[in-house]
Amino acid sequence: MIAFTITTVLSILIINIICLDINDKIHLLHKSFMSIYFIFAPHIVLLAYFFSEHTKFGQDKVICKWIILLQIILFTFYIMLKVNIVPYTKKQIVNIRLKVMLGGKSLVLYGLYVAFIQILIYIIGFKAIKDSVIPNNIVVIDIIIMVLTTITLLTNGMLRILCTSRRLSILKRYIVAVMVFIPIINIFIMLYACHIAKIEYDHECYKVINNEARVDLDVCKTKYPLVLVHGVGFRDLKYINYWGRIPKELIRNGATVYYGNQEAWGTVECNAQDIKDKILDIVKATGCEKVNIIAHSKGGLDSRYMISKLEMGKYVASLTMVSSPHRGCKFVDIACNMPDKLYKAIARLSDKYFKILGDKNPDFYTASRQFSTYHSKKFNEGVKDVDGVYYQSYTTVVKNMFSDYIVTIPYILVKLTEGENDGLVSINSAKWGEFQGVLQNKHRRGISHGDIIDLRRDDYKGFDVIEKYVEIVSKLKNKGY
The three-state secondary structure class of 435 is: strand
Residues 381 and 416 in one domain: yes
Residues 198 and 282 in one domain: no
How many angstroms separate the CA atoms of 243 and 133, rounded? 69
Residues 201 and 321 in one domain: no
How many angstroms separate the CA atoms of 408 and 401, rounded? 5
Q: Examine the fold and report which residue of 194, 210, 226 is the final residue of a domain before the chain moves on.
A: 210
Question: What one-character DSSP code corresponds to residue 383?
Answer: -
Residues 236 and 346 in one domain: yes
Angle at the Cα of 249 from the Cα atoms of 425 and 289, rounded to 5 degrees: 80
Angle at the Cα of 466 from the Cα atoms of 462 and 472, rounded to 5 degrees: 100
Alpha helices of 135-258 — where are they, by DSSP H? 136-164, 170-179, 185-213, 246-252
Question: Each residue's pLDDT tens digit in the chain (481 positions)?
Answer: 555 566 566 667 777 777 777 777 777 888 888 888 898 888 888 777 776 666 655 555 566 666 767 777 888 888 899 989 888 777 766 788 888 999 999 999 999 999 999 888 888 876 666 666 677 787 888 889 899 999 999 999 999 999 999 888 788 888 998 898 888 899 999 999 999 999 888 888 877 777 777 767 889 999 999 999 999 999 888 778 999 999 999 999 999 999 999 999 999 999 999 999 999 999 999 999 999 999 999 999 999 999 999 999 999 999 999 999 999 998 898 888 889 899 999 999 999 999 998 899 999 999 999 999 999 999 999 999 999 999 999 999 998 888 888 888 889 989 998 999 999 999 999 999 999 999 988 777 889 999 999 988 877 777 889 999 999 999 999 999 9
How many angstroms separate the CA atoms of 159 and 168, rounded? 12
Residues 275 and 309 in one domain: yes
Output the domain CATH number for residue 230: 3.40.50.1820
Q: Using alpha carbons, select from 222, 229, 255, 262 the residue that is nearest to residue 243.
A: 229
Given a contact cutoff of 8 angstroms between Cβ atoms, the answer to whether 176 and 168 are in contact is: yes
Question: What one-character DSSP code corresponds to residue 280?
Answer: H
| pLDDT score at 56 | 58
390-396 and 257-259 beta bridge pairing: unpaired
Q: Examine the fold and report which residue of 210, 233, 258 is the final residue of a domain before the chain moves on.
A: 210
- Check the CA dihedral 15-16-18-19 and report its sign: positive
Count of the separate structural domains present in the chain: 2
Given a contact cutoff of 8 angstroms between Cβ atoms, the answer to whether 411 and 369 are in contact is: no
One-letter identity of residue 434? E
Given a contact cutoff of 8 angstroms between Cβ atoms, the answer to whether 295 and 229 are in contact is: yes
Residues 252 and 376 in one domain: yes
Residues 348 and 256 in one domain: yes
How many angstroms separate the CA atoms of 440 and 446, rounded? 6
Q: Examine the fold and report which residue of 176, 210, 244 is the final residue of a domain before the chain moves on.
A: 210
| pLDDT score at 294 | 98
How many angstroms separate the CA atoms of 424 and 444, rounded? 18
How many angstroms separate the CA atoms of 391 and 221, rounded? 19
Q: Using alpha carbons, select from 467, 196, 231 the residue that is nearest to residue 368.
A: 231
Residue range of the domain that includes 92: 2-210
- Residue 237: HSE in the Cβ half-sphere, 13 Å Cα cutoff: 12
Global confidence as pTM: 0.76
Residues 222 and 162 in one domain: no
Residues 223 and 171 in one domain: no
- Residue 51: HSE in the Cβ half-sphere, 13 Å Cα cutoff: 17
Residues 141 and 62 in one domain: yes
Residues 194 and 321 in one domain: no
Q: List beta partners, residue 295.
A: 229, 321
How many angstroms separate the CA atoms of 166 and 203, rounded? 11
Given a contact cutoff of 8 angstroms between Cβ atoms, the answer to whether 362 and 263 are in contact is: yes
- Please count the other Cβ atoms lying within 10 Å of the Cβ belonging to residue 361: 14
Given a contact cutoff of 8 angstroms between Cβ atoms, the answer to whether 446 and 397 are in contact is: yes
Given a contact cutoff of 8 angstroms between Cβ atoms, the answer to whether 138 and 46 are in contact is: yes
What is the chain's alpha carbon radius of gyration, rounded to the nearest angstrom?
32
| pLDDT score at 342 | 92
Q: Using alpha carbons, select from 415, 429, 428 the residue that is nearest to residue 327.
A: 429
434-439 and 390-396 beta bridge pairing: parallel
| pLDDT score at 27 | 78
> How far is residue 120 from each of residues 21, 109, 123, 141, measured CA to CA in Å?
31, 17, 5, 18
Residues 404 and 379 in one domain: yes
Lay out the sheet containing 434-439: strands in order across: 257-259, 226-229, 291-296, 316-322, 390-396, 434-439
- In total, the chain counts a number of residues equal to 481
Q: Using alpha carbons, select from 177, 181, 142 the residue that is nearest to residue 159.
A: 177
> How far is residue 386 from each of residues 299, 410, 431, 469, measured CA to CA in Å?
17, 32, 17, 24
How many angstroms separate the CA atoms of 233 and 294, rounded? 17
